[in-house]
Structure 1
């Protein structure tokens, strides 16, 4: 109010009012004042009167200021959303929009070089199968590393602000067409590890690559081939299983002529065919978990992260999910967390 009153004085120059119009409240006050005068004169606001000068101001000046500020504030919001630290997601450096990588992407050669560097930095004892802490890997499996058909994690570490170390220098290699289980008790860091790999939490240190992509530097590209089943079901109460799967088919770019085929196959795989048209809020806890697993698998996800996927299921349903994962592991890297030794086996 105190800023608008002096600016609204008829004696203030047009240039000053125009400059101050980039403050949206002031532009609104000056615009309403000009519109009121035009209405009282009986001409109103029309295309012909937008440029009529009222108290050294026009309605068109306000409109132009709003249009400019709309785009400026929109870009500023996008910029701040990328660079400001937040609870979830990895923040970009403040100069990210000035980098070649942002506009052109990272070359495949750089991807291969980064992946090869991770491979070369492995411990010689692990490579030779001499380290008693690691199971020796066959030559045919090792070949997958050379072609990038694996997920490699090296020295992954996560320390929270309170000093708690949730993940301590984890190094793993998970191969294409195999299922990898993270077995551990509550608080062991399983969920935190998966959250880092999905880009929800930034790592304190460490590197990871999958199919030749840098998982921390190219998370947007990684998400195009990523499927996630979180620890807690994130479902929309008024959508059916069929509608959930259809929605995620759209997100993952499944061709329209293949959507129904994918949905039907997934519903059968997770044993929800009879509930395809029921609202998700009516599903039991185990059925919701099945739907979350189906969402992670649909769309040909090449890397699938499942956080305790069978929690809340009875033994029969758990075994069906295990069989489904085994039958659909070809061409995928499947990673699941669990408390149960039999499930890991």
Structure 2
């Protein structure tokens, strides 16, 4: 849970380290209220307090101390036994709640990661787990049907001007940007908002080479970052091979590659190890990775 909080609340490493210690310490404070009331609490109440795993850890340590004070110590055979007939809480309860906490925190971390991916990534709707389309998956045909009217109006508007090339009839649409904008706003409006990309619409077709030209700060890198899902657009829609990045980014990543302007190679990895790493990241079938790597290496020789 602390890892989850710090990943999203404290992006810099130093802030994360300080925040972890603070949150970890604060999560122990409720035990000061629970410990004097332990004997009067019901079993359900004790189990509920273990939802904070540090409280469960403290209660487990308390049980160990109580068994040691009794002179027997905590043995494996006593895990499901209370310290006395007046008690209703066992070490087995603590262990079970640890597993329950692990599952709950994992699901919570996955949920937060999807709706709030941080600096990089496309956030999903806060209701995404409750949408049938999320579990069934988005298909290309559905996305194309939804955007059919938008696409047609966009093509009509673009071909009416001499400033645009005519739509090729023998090429399949690969990437489409429809009124895409990206605005960077600052906390408490300490600085004016920066409009990196404003109302950009364009089509990129399969089998063609498309270049983005512009001066520094024109929005070229920002546009590429939005297409590849590194950052979300503020407005507009981006469709890659029929998949909307707002809902089907996982599908887009499987068919999209990016060679950034900076070096992302690892000094301690060989060429083959690099290819294997990126093949795994792209979800390539594991039983075909070696054959694909050998083919690529031979093509380069």
TM-score range, shorter chain: 0.7 to 0.9
2:31 is the counterpart of 1:4:
yes
Q: Which of the pair has the greater relative contact order for Cα pairs under 8 Å at 6+ separation?
A: 1
Secondary structure in structure 2 of the residue aligned to 1:169: strand
**CA contact under 8 A between 2:183 and 2:194: conserved in structure 1?**
yes
2:287 is the counterpart of 1:251:
no
**CA contact under 8 A between 1:115 and 1:209: conserved in structure 2?**
no
Closer, same or farther: CA 25–100 of 1 in aligned 2, 3 Å = same
**Equivalent in the alignment of 2:121:** 89
Greater helix content: 2
Distance in 1 between the 2:287 and 2:247 partners?
Answer: 33
2:61 is the counterpart of 1:32:
yes
**Equivalent in the alignment of 1:306:** none
**Equivalent in the alignment of 1:210:** 240
TM-score (norm 2): 0.77
Shift of 1:244: 0.8
Distance in 2 between the 1:23 and 1:260 partners?
Answer: 46
Closer, same or farther: CA 36–114 of 1 in aligned 2, 3 Å = same
Shift of 1:98: 0.9
Superimposed CA distance per residue, residues 70-116 of structure 1 (whole angstroms, 9 cap, x where no aligned partner): 11111112112222362211222211111111111224441231343
Secondary structure in structure 2 of the residue aligned to 1:11: helix
Alignment of structure 1 residues 7-86 onto 2, 5 Å: 7-9=34-36, 11-15=39-43, 16-41=45-70, 43-54=72-83, 56=87, 57-84=89-116, 86=118
TM-score (norm 1): 0.68
Superimposed CA distance per residue, residues 189-241 of structure 1 (whole angstroms, 9 cap, x where no aligned partner): 11000000111111121222222211332111111111111222223332122
Aligned residues: 263
Distance in 2 between the 1:36 and 1:42 partners?
Answer: 10
**Equivalent in the alignment of 1:179:** 209
Secondary structure in structure 1 of the residue aligned to 2:209: strand
Distance in 1 between the 2:195 and 2:33 partners?
Answer: 57
**CA contact under 8 A between 1:115 and 1:212: conserved in structure 2?**
no
**Equivalent in the alignment of 2:179:** 155
Distance in 1 between the 2:288 and 2:267 partners?
Answer: 26
Shift of 1:246: 1.0
Shift of 1:33: 2.0
Alignment of structure 1 residues 185-200 onto 2, 5 Å: 185-200=215-230
**CA contact under 8 A between 2:139 and 2:243: conserved in structure 1?**
no
Distance in 1 between the 2:51 and 2:71 partners?
Answer: 29
Alignment of structure 1 residues 121-160 onto 2, 5 Å: 121-124=153-156, 126-127=158-159, 131-141=161-171, 144=172, 149-160=173-184
5+ residue gaps, structure 1: 274-345
5+ residue gaps, structure 2: 1-27, 186-191
Distance in 2 between the 1:212 and 1:6 partners?
Answer: 56
Distance in 2 between the 1:204 and 1:19 partners?
Answer: 41
